[in-house]
A and B are shown apart, each in its own frame.
Chain A
């Protein structure tokens, strides 16, 4: 570790982490300590030693962590050294940094700290590309965020966070939270998570108070009455309870996640960066360098679509792949979602996600029908056979319900198919249960995959997949007419497919990409 002459000095995490690390550890270990304290053997003094020991160990661990972690930002790399017994050195080239994520949990916020997560593009698309700084002060995190997303930065500016010229940037607000969007919260899939959250919270509460719900006379009484009532009443009451829990849970989750949500664009000399800020207890801030933004996606799960809502997400490399990764907006009215997608892409929505789409051929409808009705018919047949076999006479007729559902799904799936190539974007839409409209930058397409099964060959259809580095890695255009598919790919990336479209192949030096 010989220091280079002009390399910037190593920095440490914030001193306040000395308090935060033990505290957050203590919160997690508190139940254990309490249990030991209350139920342990021996006299009170001896029992006191255990939590004290734990506390001491936590403080020591915090000190060691703070002492052994250091990071620095050089002109072209971000380096992080961690670990005492098991040393780790991570280094990320600055020109590969795609997003910077700031997260501040409650404990961190009390101390004015923030965790910085830097994610970089990796060839294999693995998730471990990037590094965490847990944690630095808020001011420093903010400075890091701007510093890392503006590149290349003059080396002189790196040492002094305060010497940032404030006039060089300005911030434009693109969207902020409208509390009327709360009505979309129960319509998302997170409502299922909501049930879990509410139950866990209630259960924990009872558990902490040392109360078994069955001991409460009112609950006991209600359970008895339910057991005595006819089956459908029991099911109905339980269903209503679950529904209420789901609604409340999803509302709470929505509020926690999206409180004080704001989407801004910060313009700098190097271009801009989109920034999403949100969160009630845990503050999150996600920044995406605009030149790394590859497109936007408007997602409409079935329930949300029924409520005329939608959610916008950004397509960029380095965003986490879970449901919230890259979300630019909470579930919002559809028009608003499209507006935000357009605003994020600096384009009119009608030229991005709202572009009028080309329909797919009738043969695609036939394929949708076969693919939906086939399995449904098979299930019905199995149900009839099983019902006859096991003497459950209602099973067969009841399963007939599947057929109209499958039919509707197929029709809807066909109706939603669409694609178009606009000036800057390849727009495709598909799906019914989860309808996705994707506007992918044409410059971001780094390959194509055409797939054609035996049946598709007979119907003259082809699946086209635009391969990209961002988001899911590939965005399909399903069941497009074969000629249209090639024309589409050729239009989106001129020159790449000339080998297939022009006969005989002509050398095409110009217009690569």
Chain B
């Protein structure tokens, strides 16, 4: 997904920026290690931005059935999350600035537990709204929250 690539690029930029500024300030004779770290950051960031987002895109899954919401996420540490529809309390939709740029949204499904929110990231805006609506409807149909 483009969003991850963009985010990776931005993160790299944030780490890179101070070093670049330092390089510019010390334009005369920058210490050798500073040049080296800047280069390494640049390379690692690029490699990450190129290699990981497609991987994430392939790994990430989500599914909503009449019984439950499932997600699978993570790259090094994979995480499956399952929340039964009957236990869902709130459904939130969220657009970050980057996501707004790309017309994406995240849907967070919260159960009664402090530990169990299920987040589906990087959905298409329309699909997210539709999903949230559908989830809210099914949730209202099933009473009880097991607290």
- Residues of A with Cβ closer than 8 Å to B? 96, 98, 121, 123-125, 292, 317, 443-444, 446-454, 457, 465, 467-470, 472-474, 489, 493, 495-497, 499, 508-509, 512-513
Which of the candidate stretches B13-21, B37-45, B75-83, B126-134 sits at the interface with the other chain? B75-83
Contact A317 B80 (CB under 8 A): no
Q: Judging by beta carbons under 8 Å apart, are A512 and B146 in contact?
A: no
| Given A465-B115, A467-B113: A449 touches B81 (CB 8 Å cut-off) | yes
Instruction: Provide the B54-69 mask, 1 if CB < 8 A to any CB of A, else 0.
Output: 0000000001011110
* Apart from A447-B83, A450-B80, A469-B111, 8 more pairs, CB < 8 Å: A123-B90, A317-B112, A448-B82, A453-B76, A467-B115, A467-B116, A468-B146, A512-B84
Q: Judge whether B65 and A499 touch: CB under 8 Å.
A: yes
Count CB-based A-B contacts (< 8 Å).
Answer: 107
Q: A452-B77, A469-B113, A495-B67 are in contact. Are A513 and B90 (CB under 8 A)?
A: no
CB contacts (< 8 Å) of B146 on chain A: these are 443-444, 446, 468-469
Q: Is the CB of A446 within 8 A of B110?
A: no
- B residues sitting closer than 8 Å to A (CB atoms) are 63, 65-68, 70, 74, 76-84, 86-87, 89-90, 110-116, 118, 145-147
Given A499-B70, A513-B84: A447 and B118 within 8 A (CB)?
yes
Task: Give bound CA distance, A472 to B146, whole Å.
Answer: 15
Query: B65 contacts which chain A residues (CB < 8 A)?
Result: 499
Q: Contact between A446 and B114 (Cβ–Cβ < 8 Å)?
A: no
Contacts of B68 in A (CB 8 A): 496, 499
- Residue in B66, B67, B110, B146 whose Cβ sees the most chain A Cβ within 10 Å: B146
In the complex where A469-B113, A474-B115 touch, is A447 in contact with B147 (Cβ < 8 A)? Answer: no
Provide the residues of chain A in CB contact with B63, threshold 8 Å. 499
Q: A448's closest neighbor in chain B, by CB?
A: B82
Which residues of A are found within 8 Å of B145, using beta-carbon distances? 121, 123, 446, 469
Q: Smallest CB–CB gap between A180 and chain B, Å?
A: 38
Contact (Cβ within 8 A) B147 A496: no
- Provided the pairs A123-B110, A499-B65 are in contact, do residues A451 and B78 lie with their beta carbons within 8 angstroms? yes
Interface centre among B63, B86, B87 (most CB of A within 10 A): B87
Partner of A496 from B74, B84, B114 at Cβ < 8 Å: B84
For A452, list chain B residues within 8 Å (CB). 77-79
- In the complex, which residue of chain A has the Cβ closest to the Cβ of B63? A499
Q: Distance in Å from the Cβ of A151 to the closest Cβ of chain B?
A: 14
Of the candidates A446, A457, A470, the one whose C-beta lies within 8 Å of that of B87 is A446
From B77, B86, B87, B118, A453 is in contact (CB under 8 Å) with B77
Name the 5 nearest CB pairs between A and B, nearest first: A125-B114, A473-B115, A467-B116, A469-B112, A121-B147
Q: Are A448 and B113 in contact (CB-based, < 8 A)?
A: no
Residues of A within 8 A of B83 (CB): 446-447, 467
Q: Whole-angstrom distance between the alpha carbons of A469 and B89 in the complex?
A: 11
Shortest A148–chain B CB gap in Å is 16
